[in-house]
Every structure is written in C-alpha cells, then in structure tokens.
C-alpha cells in the first residue's frame, strides 16, 4: 500500500510551488494500474477499508476529511463518488454538488456556500465541483472582473489552510480526460437511451472552450497546490484506473490520520443488562 501510494504520488501529485504542467500530463495510468481486474479488486478493497476508517473517524468525532473533485464535463466526478464511497454508510459521507450559484449565493462572497457545505467533525465531505469553479468557469466565461478572479487564488489557499488548521484534511483531485475521450463520452450520451438524460447541449459550448479551460485549470493547479491542500491530477480516460487511484489515496490519507475509537470512561463489568 505504501509503495503503491508512493508510485501514485510520484505520478499524480502537483508538488507545491512547482508547475503542474497539466497539458503535458497523461490521461491514462498504465504505469500505475496496468491490469484492469487487479485495479477493480483494489478499488473494492479500498472502498471497504475507507468505510471502516470513516466509522472510526465518526466515533472519534474530532476531525473531518474533505475530498474535492474537479474535472471538465464527462470527466467522471459522479462515477468516482460511486466507486470510492459506495461502502460507506449514508450518514458518514456528505456529497455536495456545486452548480451555478443562486441569487442568494451570489449575494455573498464566493466561499460562503462552500464553507457552509464543509464537512463537520467525523464526516467525509465530497465536493462535486467546488470553489475552484470561481477561478475556472468564472474566468473562462468572464463572469467576474479579472482582478476579482486574480485575488481568489490567495483567498482559496487561505480558506483551505483555515480548514486544515481547524481539523479538516483537504484532498483535491482533478480528473484529467483527453479531448478525444470527452468526444466519445458525449457521443454516448447522444446515442445511448439510458444516457440521454445526461446530455446537456451547453456541454458542447464548454467543449469549444477546451483550451481556455485547460489554461484556467493549469493556472489553478499551479497556484493552489499546497502542503496543506495538495492537488492531484488523476489520469481519467480509463474509469477503473481513475477509481483505483482516488480510492488508494483516500484510504492512505485516512490511515495517516489514524482515527481512534474513544476509550469509554466505564468498565463493561460495571453494568448488567437484565
């Protein structure tokens, strides 16, 4: 496990302070998980371990874990949640999707809705999209003035440091798919009746802005990968590799956090159940 997560991080971690070189990064991970069956078995085993660790995290009640998932349309954010957290009880994992902000949300600072959804102690919070949209779609589509967006990188890092310093471990995954793979996944949404519901014509508009999004992602990764909230770029063209990587990192992080069951201040022999 330790060897595997080292291998993963050598390849996927964006070292704090270093350039992410996003556009040169691989979208397949044959060097890490060459074998599909083994990868799927590892994901299942890790999902089970994550459930057990989450149970201890809840019992301990002192700390939280936040998993941020970002990626362009069809990159597999929902699928990742399903594969990695499917063994966890619904009370222990809180998944929050972030779509276009409401009027109320826009009337507050951009981190307001994010902070409200941050996991409470004992819980794993998963963000499907996140505060990074405020330096991605907002930047690409010019939804806020450039200087406002520019100030957000530092504001985001300060916010994530605050979460970290107050007991929340922050993991951030960018699910990295190729433009060709996105084409195939969008086409499948048009062709497959069971996937038609996922098709959204606006995804095609975003696809036209592929290069602008890539630049915005690269910028965010370059500027917001820190020791306390590092980014990982996950090769995501193959769903089973993507799932296996995220599951392994989440499990290892929880193991490092090492939540402990609290010791009772009573002895079982003090009680008799009639």
Binding-site ranges for ligand ATP (CB under 6 A)? 73, 77, 97-101, 128-129, 133-134, 137-138, 143, 200
Residues 71 and 174: beta-carbon distance below 8 Å: yes
CB of 20 to ligand ATP, least distance (A): 20
CB of 144 to ligand ATP, least distance (A): 9
CB of 148 to ligand ATP, least distance (A): 12
Nearest residue to the partner ligand ATP, using Cβ: 99
For ligand ATP, the closer CB: 99 or 142:
99
For ligand ATP, the closer CB: 134 or 237:
134
CB of 86 to ligand ATP, least distance (A): 18
What is the chain's Cα-based Rg? Answer: 20
For ligand ATP, the closer CB: 101 or 195:
101
Cα 2 to Cα 50: distance, rounded to the nearest angstrom? 16
CB of 98 to ligand ATP, least distance (A): 5
Number of CB atoms found within 10 A of residue 214's CB = 16
Cα 121 to Cα 67: distance, rounded to the nearest angstrom? 14
For ligand ATP, the closer CB: 60 or 105:
105
Kindly state the helix (H) or strand (E) to which residue 235 belongs, with its residue range: strand 231-235
DSSP classification of residue 72: S
Quick check: helix, strand or coil at residue 33? coil
For ligand ATP, the closer CB: 33 or 110:
110
DSSP classification of residue 177: -
Residues 216 and 140: beta-carbon distance below 8 Å: yes
């Amino acid at each position: 496990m330790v060897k595997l997560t080292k291998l993963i991080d050598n390849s996927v971690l964006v070292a704090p302070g270093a350039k992410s070189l996003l556009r040169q990064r691989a979208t397949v991970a044959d060097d890490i998980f060459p074998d599909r069956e083994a990868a799927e078995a590892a994901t299942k085993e890790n999902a089970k371990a994550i459930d057990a660790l989450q149970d201890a995290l809840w019992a301990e009640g002192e700390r939280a874990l936040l998993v941020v998932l970002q990626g362009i349309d069809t990159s597999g954010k929902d699928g990742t949640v399903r594969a990695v957290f499917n063994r966890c009880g619904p009370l222990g994992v809180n998944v929050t999707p972030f779509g276009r902000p409401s009027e109320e949300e826009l009337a507050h600072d951009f981190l307001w809705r994010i902070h409200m959804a941050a996991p409470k102690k004992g819980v794993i919070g998963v963000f499907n999209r996140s505060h990074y949209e405020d330096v991605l779609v907002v930047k690409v589509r010019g939804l806020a003035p450039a200087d406002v967006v520019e100030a957000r990188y530092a504001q985001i890092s300060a916010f994530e440091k605050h979460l970290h310093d107050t007991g929340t471990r922050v993991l951030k995954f960018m699910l990295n798919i190729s433009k060709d793979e996105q084409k195939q996944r969008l086409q499948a949404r048009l062709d497959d009746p069971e996937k038609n519901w996922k098709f959204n014509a606006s995804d095609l508009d975003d696809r036209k802005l592929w290069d602008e999004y890539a630049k915005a992602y690269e910028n965010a990764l370059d500027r917001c990968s820190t020791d306390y909230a590092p980014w990982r770029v996950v090769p995501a063209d193959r769903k089973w590799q993507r799932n296996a990587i995220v599951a392994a990192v989440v499990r290892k992080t929880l193991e490092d956090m090492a939540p402990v069951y609290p010791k009772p201040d009573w002895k079982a022999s003090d009680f008799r159940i009639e």
